[in-house]
Structure 1
């Protein structure tokens, strides 16, 4: 699952990473939530021979996809994630999966470790171990409202969590590597079955998970401090119990991964 993420890179860094021309200036965002606008990158379509225009375009979309066939959004759930294993066959996503695949740049995402009672537990800031940006696989759909106005909407694709993150949550966003950007975005020549191999968990060791405070739970909290390491008392007590069971364990064996 991906219910919160951050984009703290500069516009220039983001544009260079995604192979874009100049993009509008935007501030660092530390706690992006569903229904908020997010940056999505799509193929710009065919270009005339010799054109200097970039072959990718950036646009702002509402995070929460609304299929074109929805009549009343009040009766429709908020689709901010799409299961990658099912997207090509699901009525809500199959048109976008075929025609409007996108990339969403991020500096990382947040995940909450599930508790036995189903409640959210310790939150984690999950970021690339080597730093920099990642691009989540996404889908975009333009929804025409009854009044005639249009709204661009999007969802992030998820897959099974890799071994590093499975202990926190069973799902994680699909990450598309730079070497695969062109193939993922090429909806003219690459059908969903042709890019299915890209819908896989990130390699082990790619991400690191940092425990953070519950300040991230509130969307209004959007400062750099919400990404600082913080272990809730209950979570901190678990390694101590484990150490008592195994007195010879060293501190470096108590890390998450």
Structure 2
């Protein structure tokens, strides 16, 4: 699964990266510990241009009685999304990009008794695009919540020793295809659900403080020396 990530660049840099002219997002500070249940940046295409907004992380289907179901739907398996009622139609017409510059996973050690948090990022430290799906939920009293889920796939050789899943990271040349609402060919979209090339990623251990969602500062991404480990992956 993917349950934590970072997005530390400025709003201006984010808009430039995704060719966005204007946004209603009033302010953005670096985030070093983005967690489920929070409102997160997402990019969609409205048919004319890319738009940047905020979605609640944890998909709430239209038929849900309680929005808390979103905490159980922070991720969706890319391989089966086209077959699941909660995701099937979204895959056809409600796809989004979730910008990130790293994500965290917890590596089991000592036979599973201990978990070491690991930060996974591109070797060039650039922003990447996580594939997501979004939906709008309307409560009986008229409350509207726009939410999203992150698609996951099999891990590459960098992530596999850490976790058995990783987010679907889109190649830059495939971002426009993913956001194109007219593209509804699920077979073609499935070709994007491959593990990101391991040669472009690396991972390193960080401190246990990242496990607490209340912690959110640059110290969370500082490398944490692990005994017996001399270098980055």
TM-score (norm 2): 0.92
1:151 alignment partner in structure 2: 145
Structure 2 SS opposite 1:181 = helix
The residue number in structure 2 matching 1:42 is 44
Partner SS, residue 191 of structure 2: helix
Q: 1:75 to 1:31 in 2, by over 3 A?
A: closer
1:188 aligns with 2:182: yes
Match of 1:6 in 2: 6
Alignment partners' CA distance in 1, 2:114 and 2:187 = 35
Q: For residues 76 and 107 of structure 1, do their structure 2 counterparts lie closer, same or farther at Cα, with a shift above 3 Å needed?
A: closer
1:213: how far off?
0.5
Secondary structure at the aligned position of 1:156 is classed as strand
If you compute each CA radius of gyration, which structure gives the higher value, 1 or 2? 1
- Equivalent in 91, 94, 98 of residue 92 of structure 2: 98
Matched-pair contact (CA < 8 Å) for 1:183–1:190: no
Distance 1:2 1:213 in 2: 18
Runs of 4+ in structure 1 off by over 6 angstroms are none
Q: Which moved more, 1:145-154 or 1:189-198?
A: 189-198
Q: Give CA deviations for 1:113-133 in whole Å, capped at 9, x if unaligned.
A: 024755561111111101110
CA distance in 1, matches of 2:187, 2:165: 21
Give the Cα–Cα distance (whole angstroms) in 1 for the partners of residues 111 and 137 of structure 2. 37
> Structure 1: which 5+ runs fail to align?
48-54, 240-253
Q: How many residues align?
A: 231
- 2:167 matches 1:173: yes
Q: What residue number does 2:194 align with?
A: 200
Contact 2:5 2:102 in 1 (8 A): yes
Match of 2:101 among 89, 107, 115: 107
Instruction: Give the match for residue 84 of structure 1.
Output: 78
- Which structure 2 residue ranges, 5 or more long, are not aligned? none
Please give the per-residue CA displacement for 1:155-191, whole angstroms capped at 9, x wherever unaligned.
Answer: 1111011011100111111111221111101122332
TM-score under structure 1 length normalisation? 0.84
Matching residue of 2:33: 31
Measured in 2, the distance between the counterparts of 1:75 and 1:163 equals 32
Q: Which residue of 2 aligns with 1:250?
A: none
Find the aligned partners of 2:103 and 2:137 in 1 and give their Cα distance: 26
CA RMSD of aligned residues (A): 1.8
SS in 2 for 1:190: coil
Alpha-carbon deviation of 1:35?
A: 0.2
1:22 is matched with which residue? 22
